[in-house]
Structures are given as C-alpha cells and as structure tokens.
Copies of this chain bind each other. A is one copy, B any other.
Amino acid sequence: MTSFIEQRALYQPRYPSALKAISSLGAVEVGKSDPDISADQLSQLKSLFPNTFGQSVIEMQPAKVESEQKNLKPLTVAVVLSGGQAPGGHNVICGLYEALQQISPKSRLIGFKGGPSGILKDDYVMVERAEVDLFRNTGGFNMLGSGRTKIETPEQFKTCAEVLKKHDVNGLVVIGGDDSNTNAALLAEFFKTENSKVKVIGVPKTIDGDLKNKYVEASFGFDTAVRLYSELISNISRDAQSARKYYHFIRLMGRAASHITLEAALQTHPNIVLISEEVETENKGLFDVVEDVVQVIVARAEAGKDYGVVLVPEGLIEFIPEIRALFNELNNIMADNREHLTTLNSFTSKNEYINHKLSKDASYTFSSLPTDIQRQLLMDRDPHGNVQVSRIETEKLLIELVEGRLSELKSKGDYKGSFAHQSHFLGYEGRCAAPTNFDADYAYSLGLTAGALLNLGVTGYMSVVKNLTKDRDQWQAIGVPLTTMMNIEQRNGAKKPVIKKSLVSLNGAPFERLKEKRTHWKLSDDYRFSGAIQYFGPAEVCDQIPKSLRLEHEAYHSVKDC
C-alpha cells in the first residue's frame, strides 16, 4: 500500500502559461512606481539603494525578438529558506530547479542549509533531480532547514560574497517574509555596488499573510495554514454544538496581523471573532474586549446555549493600547535593571520590585492581570529584550477575565448560564502541512518566476505571481523591485528600510464581509464545516483559494459561501 506522500508526489503543479518556455521569455516593462511614502522617506530610500532603487516592474512574456532572449548559459543559483516554515517552500525550490534546467541542463542549484547562516558557514547541499522528486508537494522546510539569522553586518556581507564567489554563483534566491526580503534588497544593492555578478531575487513566504501589497496578492503558505486551522476550528465548533457544554477559546498564530483569524472566521463562522486591528482602531481596553465577549455569552445563555467558539488572534494583546504601554515600560525596566533582577529569585520579589518602578497607569494595568499572565510577562523575554507575545496565553487571559466578570453578573442575577471552557492554540500544526493545490501551484510558479528573473539578469526583484483568483494559465508572472515595497521605520533606535507589514484593513472587503455576517453568527450556530484539506478529489474541494483573496480581487457579491 502506497502512502499519502507517494500519491501526492505524483501531482504536477500548474503554473502560468507564460512560464511554459522560460528560455524564450523576455521582460516587458509594465510600470515604474515609487513607493507611496513621504518625499523625505523617498530620498532616504534612494540614498540607501543608489544602484537598485527606481527599477521598473516587469512582466515575463514570450520575447518578441530573438535578441530579447537574455542569458541562456548555465546558471549557478543558490537558494535559502528563511524564517518560519510555510507550506510550499519545497515547491518554490522545485520550480526554480525546473526553470534552471530549462535554461540549461548544466545549471546548478545550491541549497544552503539552516537559513541564511548556511551561506556564512558554507553549509550546503546540491539540489538535484532526486531531491526535487522527493520533496515536490511536501510541506516543511526539511529539505534544507531554515533559520532566522540575518546577514546584516559588513563582515557578514563580505563572508556571504566570498562564499557565493567560491561557488561561482550567479544568482541568490531568498525565500522569506518581509524581513528576509528586505535583507535580499540590501544584498542586491551590496552586490551591485561591489560589481559582483550575484543577482538577488526574493520570494514572498509567510503563513501570516502580512506580506501583501498592491503587487503581492498573497504570500505562499497562508492558504494551507488557514485551511488546516479552519479544519480544526470546524471540528471544535461541531464538538461545541454537539456537547453543548464548553466555550472554546482558540488562539491563532499570525504574529501582529489578524489575517489568519479573519480568513479562518470566514471559513468557519465562529460565534465571536476578535480582530486586533479593530480593537486598536476603536481604542478598546482589555476590559472592553472582555465585555464584548461577555455580552455574547450572556445573550447565548438566555437562548439556552452555554457553549460557543471564540477566535483570538495571537497578536491581540499588543494592539490593546494600555497593554502595549505596559509592555514598553516592562521591557525598559527589565533591560535597565537586568542585573538586579537576576538576584531576585521569587516571582513575588520580582513583582514587587517592578511594580514599584511602573507608572501609575501601567501598575494598575499590570495588577489587573491574572497572576499566570503576570508571571509570563516577567519571565519570557526574546533576545532583543521584548516580551514574547506569541508565548502569552491570551486565550487563557481572556477566559480568566471573562469568568470573573460572568460570576460578578451571576451574583447580581444578570447571568444565569454556566461557563465551562477549553483553550486551544493553533500554530505549529499548520506551518508544515502538505501544501494545498493552490499553494503547491503558487509556490511552484514563484520558483519558476524567480528562475526566469535570474535568466533575465535582473537583481533586487521579488518574484511575484498575480491574478491568483483566475485559472492558473491566466496567472501573470512579474518581477517587482523590492524597494518599491519599502518605507523607513524606526527599529532598535535606528532608521531602517523595511518592507511594510500589511495589517488587516478595516476598509477591505474581507473585513467588510465579517462585519456583515458576525452579528448573525453570535447567536445562531451557523458554523461552517470546512473539512480536511483535500488533495485528490473534485476541483470543488481541491482547488479552493482563500476567501479573503477572492473578496479582495473579485466582485464582492460573487463571493458566496462565507
């Protein structure tokens, strides 16, 4: 009996018809656009990227004349996977490999291991046909591993250049999120300044969905991860509705932005959905959020329903102004008093010491939090000295505060239900699922496009595939200058060029749809069962794409079933 993985390996990813013959593609300029930022920021960007700023967006199309066909000599390309896993990473590499083979069977693909640090350590494998056949359509980054090391310092840039030169590399493909693509832009600029032949291409990866802009319709991995989370939320919702005795508070991965939570809500119709960006815009305090949840629970209890499903985005807590202020103070106090704090062994003594140093407001906020959360805030710190938001169990925090408020209401006779609860965190389960057809096709197309861009000899570009709501053969393969997506932000006290993170837009169609539906979802049990990701069935179940993507790019009313 063959396994899932053997059967899935047989799937042939689909891709834009323009990419059928990589070697005969030319680039058509489809526009030159500066980022939409202040003149001051623009001039800073220009000075940071003197050689790569201001390039045109290009579309890959069959070349009109022979001369437009650029390099057809073998290419030696290096590839790295950077940051958190996202389903489809292997398919980017497979697509890239096929593109290079088309250009010349003598092309070589070097996979640096463990993320960008693999370049610095010169730790690599040659990606050959065997690897490509083994890893096609599989999830995970285990072909090469990944890592979060950045190539930032002048010494690192130098080492990187030396290693790539040693391997006679023409092109470097960086598969990563916003930070990694920013890094790719800096590398591209550096190589150009140094007259190195290495061209750098970025590929937009992240399950969080926050690498999105007027060119990039989606990052690969988002679809698969959210479909997996939606499967689990569906199952849990059905459990809630069957057992009729628990509120399930489900925290969802996704760092700062609430895209995952929003898409999962459109897929599954929970009773309550918190969207961080809305909480921030409405300037809600923690107790306002709790009150919103409590009101739904009270109303459901009156309808005889002491169960339900609540979706909580991982980043929520940071979007609550009073908590963000507390975090900032805590981070500073803990950084300024690191040595003294190590001498305080008990939570109580640490707590007293810190509370003493907090402002009145922050102290009030801190002491209103449950002890477990206070503990988490004092213990977990990331390497930069910041609170590790992803380790704060916001779902449990909410449960505890909701429980307290409900028992208050109960004693006044304003709530007659019973509140039993379960908490969940959905994150690591989804980052390495086998990519959906959409992500398998999309990531493969991004890999082909990256190869095509390298063949054209451009650098500092992101591989982009557009028209994603259309059939695959109508997808468009384009290259977008990385600097086009940048602005200047304050990071660790310095001004840095960064690709702007996309947050959920409260004016966008996906949020619009949520607002339209959520009142109905509160009291009704209109849970939508999204089912397990299907890879082999009819197109109706295998070829779905994210509902938020459709809402963003199709006519609002044509997007049904959410």
Contact = CB atoms under 8 A, between A and B. Distances in A.
Interface of A: 1-8, 84-85, 114, 138-142, 145-146, 228, 231-232, 235-236, 238-239, 241-244, 248, 422, 424, 428-434, 528-538, 540-542, 544, 560-561
A498 to B, nearest CB: 23
B536 A534 contact: yes
A242 B534 contact: no
A534 B235 CA distance: 15
A463 to B, nearest CB: 21
B239 A428 contact: yes
Contacts of A145: 242-244
A142 B537 contact: no
Given A4-B531, A531-B5, A242 B142 contact: yes
A469 to B, nearest CB: 12
B140 A238 contact: yes
A232 B429 CA distance: 5
12 contacts: A1-B540, A1-B544, A7-B541, A84-B243, A140-B242, A145-B244, A235-B428, A236-B432, A242-B432, A434-B531, A434-B532, A532-B535
Nearest to A533: B532
A239 B541 contact: no
Given A235-B430, A536-B537, A537-B537, A530 B4 contact: yes
A235 B228 contact: yes
Contacts of A248: 428
B243 A85 contact: yes
Nearest to A6: B540
Contact of A142 (B114, B241, B531): B241
A561 B1 contact: yes
Contacts of A429: 232, 235-236, 424
A532 to B, nearest CB: 5
B529 A4 contact: yes
B537 A85 contact: no
A542 B1 CA distance: 11
Given A3-B541, A235-B431, A532-B533, 12 more contacts: A3-B530, A4-B530, A4-B534, A7-B541, A85-B239, A85-B243, A140-B238, A141-B242, A142-B241, A145-B243, A433-B532, A536-B537
A475 B400 CA distance: 50
Contacts of A140: 238-239, 241-242
A6 B531 CA distance: 11
A433 B2 CA distance: 24
Contact of A236 (B5, B428, B530): B428
A432 B235 contact: yes
Contacts of A424: 428-429
Nearest to A429: B232
A429 to B, nearest CB: 5
Contacts of A560: 1
A297 to B, nearest CB: 19
B431 A529 contact: no
Contacts of A84: 243
A5 B432 contact: no
A532 B529 contact: no
A2 B540 contact: yes
Contacts of A537: 7, 534-537
B235 A139 contact: yes
Nearest to A140: B238
